């Protein structure tokens, strides 16, 4: 590891660094999307990359997510490794045919002889006052589609390592980047490194209950855990990091240890990933160790409001996690 291993950079910088280092290493990697070139990306993430890599590899496109996804899929079929950026995850709705009916299925349709090595980078989530069409968390749509991996890193370290792994993967990966995480900082090595896409991580050890959270809910769960510790409740925070394929081994081990589990995510409760995860836990060896029912805390079944107070009330906050965890800690006692 380099001498700069303990330097701190932002989540945004970690994503940019992963893309840039992989583009220097592999000439087949390129970035494609709206305003990724001259403008530097909707969030400034690709700022400076056009000057280094040129317009052939930092490709600005028309305002058509369907066209972007189609171009990326075709390029991947021909051996390139496109990184497709959409300005907001919500806009993936416009590219669903290309992603769901084409990119996700090509490897299977051609009996494993075709590969679609593409990454779909999608800024997701609420908290910026961007309203209904720019604030959604649509991971469950894609988790339901065979052939697409879904990852949701919560730290700058995870973002860089998992994006490098995603770029090198030979089939489609949806890479979720919560907008509120872009400015968060953390230690990130400056060299290339990989984080496997099916490897959860315990972000905080605990004995009384397990909180399973991903993306923006990880720092909120960690903050809640610190508050709960002052009241004598020792919380373990588990970050799946990859939602599909899922590391059930780590989840079963944690839940079996604590005997209680609270699943927290931003997407709406109905049809959300938490329901699938709860079913998987209920059908696993961890079920015999549960001392209380599996509980879920998720977003309300409403479009994300523009009003900041209503927006905040629509998705779990730290105080909501604290309250839900305290209630769960009392159950079965």
* pLDDT above 70 (res 1): no
Q: What is the mean pLDDT of residues 274-300?
A: 98
Residues 75/117, Cβ–Cβ less than 8 Å: no
Among 226, 218, 208, CA closest to 186: 218
Residues 97/127, Cβ–Cβ less than 8 Å: no
**Model confidence at 5, in pLDDT bands (50, 70, 90)?**
low
Residues 6-58 have pLDDT tens digits of 799 999 999 999 999 999 999 999 999 999 999 999 999 999 999 999 999 99
* pLDDT above 60 (res 221): yes
Residue 3: per-residue pLDDT? 44
Token pair, residue 155, equals 């730290």
Burial of 333 (0-12, 13-18, 19+ CB in 10 A): exposed
Residues 185/8, Cβ–Cβ less than 8 Å: yes
Token pair, residue 264, equals 């927290």
Could you give the C-alpha distances from 179 to 43, 87, 128, 323, in angstroms and in order?
A: 9, 11, 8, 25
- Cα(19)–Cα(16) distance, rounded to whole angstroms? 5
Q: What is the mean pLDDT of residues 170-180?
A: 97
- Cα(276)–Cα(243) distance, rounded to whole angstroms? 10
Residue 39: per-residue pLDDT? 94
Residue with tokens 């988790």: 143
Active site amino acids: 65, 134
Which regions of 113-272 does DSSP assign to beta strands (E)? 119-124, 149-151, 173-178, 185-187, 201-204, 209-213, 235-239, 242-244, 261-268
Burial of 206 (0-12, 13-18, 19+ CB in 10 A): buried
Q: Where in the chain is the domain with CATH 3.40.50.970?
A: 8-187
Residue 2: per-residue pLDDT? 42
Q: Which helix (H) or strand (E) holds 84?
A: strand 81-85
**Stretch among 6-10, 154-158, 164-168, 173-177 having the lowest mean pLDDT:** 6-10
201-328: CATH architecture: 3-Layer(aba) Sandwich (3.40)
Pairing of strands 235-239, 209-213: parallel
- Cα(104)–Cα(146) distance, rounded to whole angstroms? 7
Chain centroid to Cα 209, Å, comes to 23
- Cα(67)–Cα(86) distance, rounded to whole angstroms? 11
Residues 87-115 have pLDDT tens digits of 999 999 999 999 999 999 999 999 999 99
Q: What is the mean pLDDT of residues 260-281?
A: 98
Residues 109/142, Cβ–Cβ less than 8 Å: no
Q: Where in the chain is the domain with CATH 3.40.50.920?
A: 201-328
Beta partners for residue 199, in sequence order: none
Residues 202-215 have pLDDT tens digits of 999 999 999 999 99
Q: How many residues does the chain have?
A: 333
8-187: CATH architecture: 3-Layer(aba) Sandwich (3.40)
Token pair, residue 97, equals 């045919």
* pLDDT above 80 (res 305): yes
Q: What is the mean pLDDT of residues 121-142?
A: 95
Residues 223-248 have pLDDT tens digits of 999 999 999 999 999 999 999 999 99
């Amino acid at each position: 590891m380099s001498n700069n291993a303990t330097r701190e950079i932002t989540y945004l910088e970690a994503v940019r660094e992963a893309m840039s280092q992989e583009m220097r290493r592999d000439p087949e990697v390129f970035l494609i999307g709206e305003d990724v070139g001259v403008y530097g990306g909707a969030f400034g993430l690709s700022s400076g990359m056009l000057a280094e890599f040129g317009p052939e590899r930092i490709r600005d496109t028309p305002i058509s997510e369907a066209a972007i996804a189609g171009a990326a899929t075709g390029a991947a079929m021909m051996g390139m490794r496109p990184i497709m950026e959409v300005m907001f995850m919500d806009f993936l709705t416009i590219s669903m045919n290309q992603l769901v009916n084409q990119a996700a299925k090509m490897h299977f349709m051609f009996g494993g002889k075709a590969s679609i090595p593409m990454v779909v980078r999608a800024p997701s989530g609420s908290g910026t006052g961007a309203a209904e069409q720019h604030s959604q968390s649509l991971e469950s749509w894609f988790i339901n589609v065979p052939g697409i991996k879904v990852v949701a890193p919560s730290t700058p370290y995870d973002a860089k390592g998992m994006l490098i792994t995603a770029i090198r993967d030979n089939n489609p990966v949806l890479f979720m980047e919560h907008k509120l995480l872009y400015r968060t900082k953390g230690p990130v090595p400056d060299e290339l490194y990989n984080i496997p896409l099916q490897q959860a991580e315990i972000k905080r050890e605990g004995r009384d209950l397990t909180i399973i959270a991903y993306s923006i809910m990880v720092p909120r769960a960690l903050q809640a855990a610190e508050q709960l510790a002052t009241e004598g409740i020792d919380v373990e925070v588990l970050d799946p990091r990859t939602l599909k394929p899922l590391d059930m081994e780590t989840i079963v081990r944690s839940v079996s240890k604590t005997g209680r589990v609270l699943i927290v995510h931003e997407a709406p409760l109905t049809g959300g990933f938490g329901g699938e995860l709860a079913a998987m836990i209920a059908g696993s060896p961890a079920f015999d160790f549960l001392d209380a029912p599996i509980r879920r805390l998720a977003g309300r079944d409403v479009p994300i409001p523009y009003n900041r107070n209503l927006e905040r009330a629509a998705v779990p906050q730290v105080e909501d996690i604290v309250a839900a965890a305290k209630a769960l800690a009392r159950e079965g006692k």
